[in-house]
Amino acid sequence: MMKIVLPTDFSENAFHAISYAARLLENTTTVFYLMHTYTPPVYRVDYALGSPGQLGLPDDFRYAAEVQLDKTRQRIEEQFDNPKHTFITHAAFNTLEDEIRLFSMKENVDLIIMGTQGATGAAEILFGSNTVHVLKRTQIPVLAIPADYEFEAPGEILFPTDLEVDFDKVDIAFLLEFAKLWHSKIHIMHIALPEGLTEEQENNRAKLEGLLLEHNHAFHNLPDQELIMAINAFQEEITAEILVMVKNKHTFLERLFMEPVIKNVGLHSTIPFLVLPYNLKT
């Protein structure tokens, strides 16, 4: 059984991601937690300290959130009516990233699935602020779903890496279990620099090859080129349905948020994006 957190701000973008999750896991026994967090624009200090006062403001926000969550639950259950799926609502007076972190530890959550954008859906923004905060702070996998992406079975998974990651510190087991859901093939893409691999990169590659040994996969070495262009060009060859990266500030994911070229649209705003956490403590 899988446990999945589905954050929602009650926008259609958020419901689109919830619908994607229901289809992605249609053959898997799953508990989905429909989560909404709220922070009233004006509240007394005692609310922030966890001792609500007499104004009743947080209670009003909680009631409104619970009503909307229940409507969302009914809508998704009516749309899919899957006996393998259970939907549980959860409203909290907290920031989304902090609530997800606490809730995930308590409930042993496997994955977060959320939309890339919030209620505004601004076309020029790759990821909404909530998505960025969750991606940066959570220590469990996050799958971000573009607002206009129509579900396709993920037969091909694209996994770019610079091989500067110690794969003992990455939850590769989760990626492999995820790939099994749809018998997906994992394409590992590496951009080769003229000087070749360092000893550390060679060791990391060997380790990754060992982990993938019994799974459908292929390694692809591309000539030296700009990251985003390489991913886009490679996507045209294999037509991947999911992009996977490791959340390591020294590697690709940080560059995705920093390089201006990403604002010029491209692959990352058109297919689901799975981010795997990197455990710095092990």
pLDDT of residue 117: 65
Give the pLDDT confidence score for residue 154 in this predicted structure.
Answer: 95
Task: Give me the pLDDT at residue 58, please.
Answer: 58
Q: What is the CATH number of domain 156-271?
A: 3.40.50.620
Contact between residue 247 and residue 280 where contact means Cβ atoms under 8 Å apart: no
- The SS3 of residue 236 is helix
Q: Where are the domains of the chain?
A: 2-145, 156-271
Prediction pTM value:
0.85
Tokens representing 33 are 């937690």
Query: Nearest CA to 216 among 183, 246, 191?
Result: 183
- The residue with tokens 């960025």 is 132
- The H-assigned helical ranges of the chain are 12-24, 45-48, 57-80, 96-107, 129-137, 172-180, 199-211, 227-238, 252-258
156-271 shares the fold of 2-145: yes
42 vs 47, 62, 67, 118, 247, CA distance in Å? 10, 15, 21, 22, 34
**pLDDT, tens digit, for every residue of 177-235?**
999 999 999 999 998 888 889 999 999 999 999 999 999 999 999 988 877 778 888 88
- Low-confidence spans in the chain with pLDDT less than 50: 44, 51-55, 118-127, 258-268, 282
Name the CATH topology of 2-145: Rossmann fold (3.40.50)
Quick one: DSSP state of residue 94? Answer: S
Closest Cα to residue 147, out of 171, 127, 164, 169?
Answer: 127
Name 35's bridge partners: 7, 90
Coil, helix or strand at residue 252: helix
